[in-house]
Structure 1
């Protein structure tokens, strides 16, 4: 017995054990309900279970038991089903809709307080948001089995007093990517050596979704289909407790909340962290002590960012709970605590599932009261706020406005049209383009998050971003109102429907303003139709209207289509993109250039390639891929770094290097890039790729280096403080102000010189030696919000955010930052798209040739 306990403590799981003895010892279970092992044909922990088999098992439980019902909520990008499984007693299952409606009434202070003794608690079990953190997904199988088959009096009481909603795997696409990897490399006997291929996934790994995004950051941003499907269902229920099961490094143990001290969201009631978290932690402590597993709390992770699966519920009157389990990253792997098996990791997760349900029912009345009080207090906070409403909207870009509206609707935020134009704080907000968001509403905390600009923090180390102002991310003019204004109609999903004013037919030309976010999508469709499209490098006025830099000109003559076919094509493109196409019947301007000027340059269709694979930051590649797929409809060729030496570059006019380490590219590859650029290519680099290009001599730009203190007399510090002191110097994610050259092709489509940009790195570019080559420059006092170390802030001030370097007949566009961060920086996407579409038109001596005399 002593030896068995020792083996379990070390994590050495013998698969010959019956799974019920290991995971559910001494539990009375209904033999008519198949265990996961009986259904799958292998013990849990001995093999990674594919998502389709998890779905099949849940549906089999639904077929066999009146305690279970499965609901489809959507599908992923790769067409994997997204499901929610509900567990309760049979009576509750038959009246789920009634329970849901009554629970929503609890969250509405205008409705009578229900009898809490008769109100079921809503518990949401969420697993496996990171695909290669699979112990949670396997634990969902055991959780479902126990809730369906258990005859234990405690479990039956749970089912009487709660509805348990389970999302077995939050990221099915990523999970299956990792599942396939782990199973295809599993040895027999299994290999625990960390160097084995099983434990080292190839790029991009299974953590992320189809587009290589981290879905755990997407609850707040609501960019991806998986998140949107989940949020729609989530707001139908507003659960009281939500779990978020993760994995971490193999040499760790197990983490449960509370998280790091001084890392709590200041908007969330202290009751959540100080009372509920503390109470729940006692249950997790007891559960882990009983099985002899090591664990820790309070040292790491945070609840600052409102978009984690474990923090978003805190903003909705619930309790979000984070669990982090040391990962076997395969089936068994050596660790400092002994061999760590997959079965052991699953067991730790599963006992905390049961502990969560146990704690939730123990705290049922407090949880229900908290949710009721939360919404009463939140609405009151909004009413008492000095800011009564927010005005926001861009008069020149309705597509970006609609994208922002869409995001607000995902979070059930109420907002309204304005009834007339409003001038406020030096800005003009146009009717039909701007909206008003009142603060006195249930989603006041979300509204605060969207508009807040924090600059002071209790800590200087952040697990993730320290700023997440979405009004700035969308770069929409906005202001606070200290008064209420008369509002127009409430905005609904119907207001998102594209309904552009269609052009009349012209026999001369058409114009499309580049200010619209979806103008690049329209341009690519024009180029796909092999149409001649020109862009304006100077402003002009025609037909009583002024058009700015970047305006697209589509002449009727000399096109591959006749006038009627061209007209029909333009109507279709306008309907597809929402972009307004304007008919023009003369080429003579009242001011500025005429339509026949050489200041109109023909746009070349981008033939773009991006390097990917080992060393490259997969998320940055994914963000570019996602942007072009979903916002432009333009393909980009993804090439593995190891294939670059034998790649024919002649078919591409643009190469993109996302952030990463390109050390695997040898001198011959570097010379190959130099030659390609010199022959007229456009190279676009981001962050550390910009550093790499400078250090390899591809460009002659310079980095603003850190001045190292090498003195032997500097103040001593304690060893334990080194990590905090060095970590505080990292720019983990803050928002800064920069000034843009609106006349430069990279600045086309922007209407304000000052703009917010996101920075989460310490790549800092010196200003270019060319007077017009620093297109976007940080201001002298650039921080808008978020944490930045004072030394880093000094280095960032007056540095360049975008430099253009000319080499031979080509050019390199160097970004110090990532303009496509997490698919939500609509305000800076166009900087990247301008480099993509107009890069080949940029030359050192101006983009257009002088007329011959």
Structure 2
């Protein structure tokens, strides 16, 4: 019987392979000289998951055999997989791509003549597979590429004549290959449709995310990851008219195309995008899906509110972003409420919508081109009329954080300028060379507004993602609005991003490093890696005519293991590596505050850090810690699977990190083991639900602020269909709040302002600690700055603790109610986490520093 089933499956495999043309391209005229995907790969699309390298090889083969195709490498991922753009057009267009590109960019510049929209080609960007375990898009890109190369269909030939099609076959190559390997490794023969089969249930962290477990679909706006930065650089060279974003969703769903949920549109984007362009394009998707008999839906879910999706970012750039969500087979074949869902079926739905996008773009070409010209005309005019004529922003103490913000602005092609002189605005002083001016009247006006906007009222209370994304607050930079006339200095370019640390002379006494610099922890890590004895100031002082704050690093020349000359050379190298200024001093006598020999300078221990990862742990938050330490600090952290904790010797680590997640895999014995380790002198750092877990396990004697019973629950009826929305509105999906920081605490070292903005996307709320100095960061009485929060949640958050320190024996637990490293972009709160990492072991009972043994 088994042999018969195997034979039947093989016959079915061969049939489907031979029938691929009829299944995917019925009645289409295709050039037999162009190799089909099956001929090149050795299997039919939908019968096996294609590795990224084989996908790239096929695209390069199309480039080799056809003058309609050209492949360009735009970068590499963290795991050294190629990022490519495959361009399709008529041969005469391929031969003049650079000329076409420049002509198209002229369309986006109102100062230049309007191009002939009848002759100008449409620029179409087909983007696939931003989530690695949503692979139908990547496979559809192979078929789309084959069709555009091999087609002899008159309609498609007209597409190529009148469009330049830029294809990014896989936005997330690292994540895709993680999932591809999993699906192929577990594919059954015959295929197993049972949803419980291992093929359909990836192990942690799954293939959705990139190397550092980041969701790249949220990163267009934040531009944190290398994949996004490479893409944005190329994107802004073209500014396409239409951009697709192909996704997958739950297996029991059908297929979604825009328009998205009503009342969930970005208020800054012209309404014509949603009401006019989206509606026009939806008719083509409707027709394409009707023709193949596939079910679909619109309007009920998803949103365009956040500007950082692949389907919403183009709306801010004069284009049209289009989201597609296909029910996922999460493997090759899976049961669903709509019948067994095959991988090939999911691929075909994505394919027909890609072709429908091209068809719609060509029919609506003039509308798209005129929309893009009008868009930039109108946005510049809006910027000119906007009451805020410019924004001024910059930190007088931290040039590294300033430069990081400048780098972000350049990623989005935003114009900004140096100050001519020091300026005072809204009670703040901004220093020339440290602060910048960002005019409102510019082509990127909408992006500028997004970076500084603080909305607090919304048409809807349910959000697919964040409801706040103010990047000025995320970077923690002082800023103000300029309402009147202003003068600006030179425009800032990439050349201004290069660090320029001070040149300093050799000292035979000591050196100091100001801890306010964002990269001071990176310098400290290199000092400790080189076994250079380093102390931190736990009180302020002044020396050599300069004031130094809490956390200032002291490197004395005496008692080092290397000579004064070797130390000098090492410090020069560290300064160049990190961009951090180092100040030599020739005396230990301070004009004010502590002297350099005071016990208020404490030796800093090198962190031997470990973080629990694996089943139950929130992968994105673990990835943020890993990414921060890898890319910003250059410090290794050991990542240990939760299931290995019970047998692990944790005494080799002095710091353990628990990010958010479910730690139910740790039994009572493991909790007691962790508690004993803390009591023996360890530093435990917890975030969000990791904080909840250590409190519930009595590892930290703090309290959670519980949800108060709703007295109206039994009085007010809610319709069944409205209940989910009513409960969902109580979740804090992503908003920005104000809190007050104790800047004298080691957790607050390096901050100069007690008030700070923090990001919250959870409902973990800490009661303030019973220790008077143990609540380091506390939400203010009226804390919301921007974003949606339910009134009940806002009451719970007000006056609660954002960071508590709890002491257990010789150790401590540093509890964060939030995530200070959110999506790798919260430069303003990163240092809170880094301070816990580097200075945690120096904190003892009562908020005092630990005595040295």
TM-based fold match above 0.5? yes
Q: Secondary structure at the match of 1:777?
A: strand
Contact kept? 1:88, 1:159, Cα under 8 Å: yes
- 1:474-513 aligned at under 5 Å gives the runs 474-513=475-514
Contact kept? 2:396, 2:435, Cα under 8 Å: yes
Change (3 A) 1:849 1:204: closer
Partner of 1:46: 47
Change (3 A) 1:251 1:488: same
What is the CA-CA distance between 1:561 and the residue it aligns to?
A: 1.1
Contact kept? 2:774, 2:846, Cα under 8 Å: no
Partner of 2:3: none
What is the CA-CA distance between 1:716 and the residue it aligns to?
A: 1.2
**Residue 708 of structure 2 is aligned to residue 707 of structure 1:** yes
Q: Deviations over 1:374-427 (max 9, x none)?
A: 000000001111100000000000000000000000000010000111111110
Whole-angstrom CA distance in 2 between matches of 1:734 and 1:812: 26
What is the CA-CA distance between 1:713 and the residue it aligns to?
A: 3.7
Partner of 1:691: 692
- 1:464-475 aligned at under 5 Å gives the runs 464-475=465-476
Partner of 2:653: 652
Whole-angstrom CA distance in 1 between matches of 2:721 and 2:147: 44
Aligned residues: 842
Partner of 1:398: 399
Whole-angstrom CA distance in 2 between matches of 1:123 and 1:171: 20
Q: Secondary structure at the match of 1:321?
A: strand
Whole-angstrom CA distance in 2 between matches of 1:192 and 1:849: 60
Whole-angstrom CA distance in 1 between matches of 2:763 and 2:16: 48
CA RMSD of superposed structures (Å): 1.3
- 1:74-85 aligned at under 5 Å gives the runs 74-85=75-86
Q: Deviations over 1:659-683 (max 9, x none)?
A: 0000110011001001000000000
Contact kept? 2:389, 2:441, Cα under 8 Å: yes
Normalised TM-score (structure 1): 0.98
Contact kept? 2:843, 2:850, Cα under 8 Å: no
Partner of 1:233: 234
- 1:211-222 aligned at under 5 Å gives the runs 211-222=212-223
- 1:394-793 aligned at under 5 Å gives the runs 394-709=395-710, 713-793=714-794
Contact kept? 2:642, 2:665, Cα under 8 Å: yes
Partner of 1:131: 132
What is the CA-CA distance between 1:709 and the residue it aligns to?
A: 3.3
What is the CA-CA distance between 1:848 and the residue it aligns to?
A: 4.0
**Residue 194 of structure 2 is aligned to residue 193 of structure 1:** yes
Q: Deviations over 1:139-164 (max 9, x none)?
A: 00000000000000000000010000
Partner of 1:367: 368
Whole-angstrom CA distance in 2 between matches of 1:850 and 1:253: 63
Partner of 1:8: none
Q: Secondary structure at the match of 2:831?
A: helix
Q: Deviations over 1:86-112 (max 9, x none)?
A: 000000000000000000001100001
**Residue 152 of structure 2 is aligned to residue 151 of structure 1:** yes
Whole-angstrom CA distance in 1 between matches of 2:17 and 2:148: 24
Partner of 1:823: 824
**Residue 327 of structure 2 is aligned to residue 329 of structure 1:** no
What is the CA-CA distance between 1:712 and the residue it aligns to?
A: 7.3
Whole-angstrom CA distance in 2 between matches of 1:164 and 1:590: 67
Contact kept? 2:844, 2:850, Cα under 8 Å: no
Whole-angstrom CA distance in 1 between matches of 2:341 and 2:491: 55
Change (3 A) 1:401 1:719: same
Contact kept? 2:17, 2:38, Cα under 8 Å: no
Change (3 A) 1:630 1:563: same
Whole-angstrom CA distance in 2 between matches of 1:508 and 1:16: 77
Whole-angstrom CA distance in 2 between matches of 1:175 and 1:845: 50
Contact kept? 1:12, 1:344, Cα under 8 Å: no
Q: Deviations over 1:608-661 (max 9, x none)?
A: 000000000000000000000000000000000000000001110000000000
Normalised TM-score (structure 2): 0.98
Contact kept? 2:820, 2:829, Cα under 8 Å: yes
Q: Deviations over 1:250-282 (max 9, x none)?
A: 000000000000000011111100000000000
Change (3 A) 1:13 1:322: farther
Whole-angstrom CA distance in 2 between matches of 1:16 and 1:538: 73
Q: Deviations over 1:749-768 (max 9, x none)?
A: 00000000000000000000
Q: Deviations over 1:772-802 (max 9, x none)?
A: 0000000000000000000000000000000
Partner of 2:389: 388
Change (3 A) 1:13 1:136: farther
Q: Secondary structure at the match of 1:490?
A: coil
Change (3 A) 1:203 1:362: same
Whole-angstrom CA distance in 2 between matches of 1:57 and 1:846: 62
What is the CA-CA distance between 1:850 and the residue it aligns to?
A: 8.0
Whole-angstrom CA distance in 2 between matches of 1:295 and 1:756: 42
Contact kept? 1:78, 1:173, Cα under 8 Å: yes
Whole-angstrom CA distance in 1 between matches of 2:412 and 2:718: 46
Whole-angstrom CA distance in 2 between matches of 1:701 and 1:12: 60
Contact kept? 2:774, 2:847, Cα under 8 Å: no
Change (3 A) 1:657 1:712: closer
- 1:1-12 aligned at under 5 Å gives the runs none
What is the CA-CA distance between 1:711 and the residue it aligns to?
A: 7.3
Change (3 A) 1:735 1:14: farther
Partner of 2:6: none
Q: Secondary structure at the match of 1:365?
A: helix
Contact kept? 2:383, 2:442, Cα under 8 Å: yes
Contact kept? 2:771, 2:846, Cα under 8 Å: no
Contact kept? 1:310, 1:321, Cα under 8 Å: yes
What is the CA-CA distance between 1:12 and the residue it aligns to?
A: 12
Whole-angstrom CA distance in 1 between matches of 2:794 and 2:210: 34
Contact kept? 1:598, 1:848, Cα under 8 Å: no
Structure 1: any 5+ residue segments left out of the alignment? Answer: 1-10
- 1:82-161 aligned at under 5 Å gives the runs 82-161=83-162
Return structure 1 stretches of 4+ with deviation > 2 angstroms: 11-17, 708-713, 845-852
Q: Deviations over 1:199-239 (max 9, x none)?
A: 00001000000000000000000001100100000000000
Change (3 A) 1:712 1:125: closer
Q: Deviations over 1:289-332 (max 9, x none)?
A: 11110000000000000010000000000000000000000000
Whole-angstrom CA distance in 2 between matches of 1:229 and 1:663: 39
Contact kept? 1:681, 1:811, Cα under 8 Å: yes
Q: Secondary structure at the match of 1:320?
A: strand
Q: Deviations over 1:3-48 (max 9, x none)?
A: xxxxxxxx99973551101000010100000110111010000000
Query: Which deviates more, 700-709 or 528-537?
Result: 700-709
What is the CA-CA distance between 1:502 and the residue it aligns to?
A: 1.9
- 1:290-329 aligned at under 5 Å gives the runs 290-329=291-330
Whole-angstrom CA distance in 2 between matches of 1:216 and 1:43: 29
Contact kept? 2:75, 2:83, Cα under 8 Å: yes
Q: Secondary structure at the match of 1:126?
A: strand
Q: Secondary structure at the match of 2:247?
A: strand
Whole-angstrom CA distance in 2 between matches of 1:641 and 1:239: 45
What is the CA-CA distance between 1:500 and the residue it aligns to?
A: 0.7
What is the CA-CA distance between 1:845 and the residue it aligns to?
A: 3.7
Contact kept? 1:598, 1:849, Cα under 8 Å: no
Whole-angstrom CA distance in 1 between matches of 2:835 and 2:650: 21
Partner of 1:175: 176
Change (3 A) 1:64 1:816: same
Contact kept? 1:13, 1:343, Cα under 8 Å: no
Whole-angstrom CA distance in 2 between matches of 1:14 and 1:31: 19
Q: Secondary structure at the match of 2:495?
A: helix
